[in-house]
Structure 1
Amino acid sequence: MSKRKMVITNKLEQHYYKQIKEILPDWELVVGKEKAIWQDHIRDAEIIAGWKKGLEKDCLSPHSKLKWLQTWSAGVDSLPLKELALRNIALTSANGVHAYPISETIFALMLGLTRKIHTYVRNQLSMVWDHANMGLEIHEKTVGIIGVGAIGKETAKIAKAFGMKVIGVRHSGKPEECVDEMYTTNQLPVLLPRCDYVVITLPLTQQTYHLFGAEQFQHMKSSAFFINIGRGEIVVEADLVNALKEGTIAGAGLDVFETEPLTKESPLWEMENVIVTPHTSGSTEHYDKRVIETILIPNLKDYISSGKPSINRVDFSKGY
């Protein structure tokens, strides 16, 4: 009888390998970032940690033994969710590992736009000494956090250190610590006119696709800044460009885009009121550590004891 098999499509430090092997002493453990290491093992794997493009063929074949897939990313919108659901394959994400780095990026963008750091960096390159009409403060302003998950909660907590009023949006409308008022997405017209900053931290689903377009930007203050670290497809990018050009909103900090990499033809690159970062808001020195220690290993223990991983279980009906 062949051994049960787990494939990890990423590099693994030796001490983590030993911890996992202690949980799965009788399993075959295949680990490595290079495709050549694991490609012949995918069809026989009961557990796979780390989704790679092209795995669909073997993972979803009639002969696949896959029962549980743990992603190395928080977003699952690029995965074949319908097919995984039909095959009753448990799917867990890396949701939560980004709370610190992404909330830091959110405030870097908010502060950069507020205190015109991006403008001064451009001026520095040209050796231009110019005040640039500096005047805004972030303290005691109102921030609308559209998507109060792990990232949204950490952002709300930091906002309170600046004495900000925090308005949140989440699917359930359930209250949350550090959020002064909570709404649902169908109440956006009520809350957007009150916000000095609007921060998108939502996952991409059928419900959030193009959630923000011309109508939503019209609801915002002309002095408000728009921050998107969720997914580019949540926003109608052409409408955002128009809102920025026409002064409907004051500026934007963008880490995600409808097309990535952002095309060289995009006007966003050269707009004075925009900061562009290349989808790096979640990058951190502690990424693998958090995925392995707080999600993968606890889920492995749950799977061995009950047959079901419990942390970050994706609800296929919601898409996250």
Structure 2
Amino acid sequence: MRIYFTFDPRPDLKEPLVKQFPHVEFIFHARLDEEELEKADVLVTYGEDLNDSRIEIAKNLKWIFVASAGIEKMPAKAIAERNILVSNVRGIHKTPMAESILAHILSLKRALPFIYENKRNKVWDKKAQLSELNGSTALIIGPGAIGSEIGRLLQAFEVYTIGCNRSGEDAPFMNETYRIDELESQLPKAHIVISMLPSTPETKHLIKLDHFKLMRDDAIFMNFGRGNVVKTDVLIQALEQKLIFHAVLDVFEEEPLPLSSKLWEIDNVTISPHFSSHSSRYVERSLEIFKPSLEKWLNGETDVENKMNILRGY
């Protein structure tokens, strides 16, 4: 059994892994090497280093473990045709991402950008618009593992949480849950609208200008799922027309966000470079999912944790 990592974990994470599985041959590289890929039985990757030709090269490959939640950049059709099993690390992002989202909300509510700017300029000014998170309503579009963790933290601030998902079935830490096709009826209620949707054919450009027109003019819109849930031009239009108070964006249709993008120039938007899930514990948590899955795999089981439908995208 040859397992090829296209990233190199820290020694304190790598060494226990190798010790736990002494009969497995582990190869660790800082980037993908096609000669090693050709010999690999299992590939551990962030996913962005794969394409159709590399799947063709990987003659022995039977399982791809993706150390990321999203797989939209992977060659799905080529992988499906080979019947290669794909699993990911869904769930490990919930702690850092929920903390990032909460930090952004509190920053805007308690005027931290205003405070930081005044400090830089040596200005003593109390004329800030301060508000409270307590008692507000948050609408979470896609209340999965991350969205539910956001809901848990928000409820500690006595925020009323509403979830929107495909089924309308109850989601953890949501006071109410509705189907995604009922989104329009819920938008006017929310002081905070958070999209955690993955990138699928159904979610692409789901949120349109009419949705922003239904939001409160003091609403905060946050996109921490995938950038193509809303067209960039639509976002710009909504912000320029002041249909909402502020947008916080961690994901974009094109990444890195081009220097020519008008979003850089708009005042009522916060731009985060798609790193809200980053943490010093990221690889540690990934391996906590990989190890029990590898135990199953070595015992001939294919029902590993977070097994995915590569063509559906989740």
Residues 279 and 63 of structure 1: CA distance in aligned 2, closer, same or farther (over 3 Å)? closer
Matching residue of 2:293 = 299
Q: For 1:260 and 1:251, how far apart are their aligned partners in 2?
A: 21
State the partner residue of 1:55.
Answer: 50
Q: Which amino acid aligns with 2:296?
A: D
Cα–Cα, structure 1 residues 63 and 218, in superposed 2: closer, same or farther, change >3 Å? Answer: closer
- Give me the CA root mean square deviation: 2.0
By how many angstroms is 1:156 displaced? 0.4
Q: Offset at 1:15?
A: 5.4
1:240 partner letter: L
SS at match of 1:306: coil
Deviation at 1:50, TM superposition (A): 0.9
Query: Which amino acid is the alignment partner of residue 29 of structure 1?
Result: F
* Equivalent residues, number: 314
Instruction: State the alpha-carbon separation in 2 of the partners of residues 207 and 148 from structure 1.
Output: 16
How far the C-alpha of 1:133 sits from its partner, in A, is 4.0
Distance in 1 (CA, whole Å) between partners of 2:131 and 2:41 is: 55
Please report the TM-score for the alignment, with normalisation by the length of structure 1. 0.91
> 2:30 corresponds to which residue?
33
Q: Work out whether residues 195 and 221 of structure 1, in 8 Å CA contact, stay in contact via their aligned partners in 2.
A: yes
Partners of 2:269 and 2:122 lie apart in 1 by: 21
Normalising by structure 2, what TM-score?
0.93
Give the conservation status (yes or no) of the 8 Å contact 1:44–1:65. Answer: yes
- Tell me which of 275, 300, 318 is aligned to 2:312: 318
Q: Which moved more, 1:18-27 or 1:129-138?
A: 18-27
Name the CA shift for 1:242/1:129 in 2 (closer, same or farther; >3 Å). farther
C-alpha separation in 2, matches of 1:82 and 1:58: 12
Distance 1:268 1:119, change over 3 A: farther
Structure 2 CA distance for partners of 1:317 and 1:9, relative to 1, 3 Å: closer
Q: Cα distance 1:203–1:267, how it changes in 2: closer, same or farther (>3 A)?
A: same
Q: Conserved in 1, the CA contact under 8 Å of 2:155 and 2:173? A: yes
Give me the identity figure in percent.
31
Q: Which amino acid aligns with 1:103?
A: A
Residue 108, structure 1, aligned to residue 103, structure 2: yes
Determine which of 296, 302, 305 is the counterpart of 1:308: 302
Identify if the C-alpha distance between structure 1 residues 251 and 54 changes in structure 2 by more than 3 Å, giving closer, same or farther: closer
In structure 2, the residue matched to 1:158 is: 153
C-alpha distance in 1 between matches for 2:35 and 2:206:
41
- The one-letter code matched in structure 1 to 2:6 is T
1:281 aligns with 2:265: no
2:30 partner amino acid:
K
- Distance in 2, matches of 1:175 and 1:306, equals 35
Amino acid at match of 1:27: V
1:223 aligns with 2:215: no
Does residue 71 of the first structure (1) align with residue 66 of the second (2)?
yes
The correspondence of residues 67-106 of structure 1 with structure 2, limited to 5 A, is 67-106=62-101
Of residues 214, 222, 233, the one that matches 2:209 is: 214
The verdict on how the C-alpha distance between 1:115 and 1:15 changes in structure 2, with shifts beyond 3 A counting, is: closer
- Of stretches 105-114 and 284-293 in structure 1, the one that deviates more from structure 2 is 105-114
CA contact (8 A) 2:70 2:313 kept: no
- Does residue 1:6 correspond to 2:3, yes or no? yes
Aligned partners of 1:165 and 1:51: how far apart in 2? 35
